Amino acid sequence: MSCPVHPKPLKNKASLLFTFFIKRKSWLNGLFERSYTMKTGKVKLPGIEIVVANELSLVKDIMVNKVDKYPKNKLLHELLEPLLGDSIFTTNGCQWRKQRNLLTPAFASTSIGKVFVLMKQATDDMRERLSKVEAGSRFDMESEMTFITADIIFRTIMTTKLSSEEAQKITSAFTRFQEQSLKISMLRMFKIPLVFSYKEHKRIQAAKIIRGALEKVIRPRYEAVNNGEETQAVDILSSLLLTRDPDTGERFSFKEIVDQVSMLFLAGHETSASALSWLFYLLAEYPEIQEEAYQEIKTVVGDREIEATDLKKLKLVNAIFRETLRLYPPVGFMMREAAEKVTLRDKIIQAGQSVVISPWLIHRNKYNWEKPHDFNPKRFLEKQKTPIKSRYLPFGMGQRVCIGASFAMQEAVLIITSVLQHYRVEEVEGFKPQPVGRLTIRSENGIYVKLFKREDT
């Protein structure tokens, strides 16, 4: 059986112009065979020089041992600023530490357990939508996964349901934001000032639509807290609204709250939507693995409703999600910059120069993983010769590790189980998704599958 889809690496050095055109579509298409196994690499373009750290010991130095020398990159901050403002994802130093301390309790394991009920209600609504899908028709799984994960974030962070019209408005604005951001970063990298302001305008408009939709929910809650009408934390938003800075005693300003919620909305749904869409493509391609997962679900859950305690018992379902994150890590690259002049193996990096770590490259490096392009979830159930911690980083690593990793695992296992318990997922003849690297790894032509209701449920 052939490997799941991935762009074929280039054999030779492409011309700068050619690279520009293919990378404009996706940076994944600009990778060479050697990109996967190199220890360090350099990407030199007219507007930027980036060092890629690919050797595991260097990755650990950057993300764990010498983390102060490699703060988050200013370019990424500038790129995401219209949407995320000064959110935890791109801040550094004391500002980041304060934000992380404020958000951590909301994502502690007990709090994640509490949001199970809200996640379950959203998956029940998803099942209702799926029940209306014609059996065997070409079904847009990517749109459904984007909707359900956005809805889960709305419900768990702000105790609000997301209507399909609102979801459509937000997700299409985000697609435009991603596309324009990629184009702008490419123009900057190639020092091309052409039509810059027009693209920037489109991008800012898209960010305004998303922030506007979130502000509509946050504004009345913000006022209720300030008027003393809301005094108890009922969800993640009220924890943020009620929290006071231990030094100044002040609360977050309205803008600061919108920054954090925008970031949680983006980081929390775009990543999960990407991973879950790829997962259903893989299950459609590998029916025998899907069947085993179904048998596991039948044994653990049977025909009753899924409960929070079932999730950890679904070992194969968990492993399938982890293997999907290995093959299609939603965050395909992580950007840092050197705080001072440093040397990475043979590369001298000047202060302010960009350093990139790519889970996509690390997860598909043949020296890190056996048969790296194969889909083999069972590798996560078998005893490994070397620990996977250093060579598996879909959620990042060290102090900037994803705050929502447990949230994402719980949500994913719940969604996968809710679908597989009732449906068989099949491939659409002749359809192959095309992976593209933007802010996250998505499919250029969407992800379509066929759904058939299981007779025996």
Tokens of 169: 């408005």
For ligand HEM, which residue of 403, 414, 419, 449 counts as binding (CB under 6 A)?
403
Task: Based on the shown chain and the rule CB under 6 A, indicate whether residue 71 belongs to the binding site for ligand HEM.
Answer: no
Q: Which stretch binds ligand HEM (CB under 6 A): 163-171, 172-180, 304-312, 393-401?
A: 393-401
**Nearer to ligand HEM by C-beta: 117 or 192?**
117
Which three-class secondary structure string do you get for 2-28?
CCCCCCCCECCCCCHHHHHHHHHHCHH
Site for ligand HEM in 267-326 (CB under 6 A): 267-268, 271-272, 275, 325
Task: Compute the least distance from the CB of residue 264 to ligand HEM, in Å.
Answer: 5
C-alpha pair distances (Å), 370 with each of 8, 93, 376, 380? 18, 38, 10, 12
What is the nearest approach in angstroms of ligand HEM to the Cβ of residue 302?
A: 27
- Of positions 7, 113, 396, 446, contacts ligand HEM by CB under 6 A: 396
Using CB under 6 A as the binding rule, whether residue 400 contacts ligand HEM is answered as yes
Residue 228 CB, shortest distance to ligand HEM, in Å, is 28
Least distance between ligand HEM and beta carbon 246 (Å)? 18
CB of 299 or CB of 399, closer to ligand HEM: 399
Do β-strands 40-45 and 435-437 pair in parallel, antiparallel, or remain unpaired? unpaired
* C-beta of residue 60 within 8 angstroms of C-beta of residue 364: no
Find the part of the chain contacting ligand HEM (CB under 6 A) among 17-25, 128-136, 201-209, 403-411. 403-411
CA angle, residues 304, 306, 308, in degrees to nearest 5: 140
Cβ-based nearer residue to ligand HEM, 419 or 450: 419
Query: 133: how many CB neighbours lie within 10 A of its CB?
Result: 16
The residues, any chain, with a CB within 8 Å of residue 238's CB and separated by 6 or more, are: 221, 225, 230, 232
Q: Residue 66 or 202: which CB sits closer to ligand HEM?
A: 66
Q: Give me the residue label for tokens 């653990």.
A: 300
Is residue 164 helix, strand or coil? Answer: helix
Give 453's contacts (C-beta < 8 A, 6+ positions apart).
135, 422, 423, 424
Which residues form the interface with ligand HEM (CB under 6 A)?
88-89, 100, 264, 267-268, 271-272, 275, 325, 330-331, 334, 394-396, 400, 402-404, 407-408
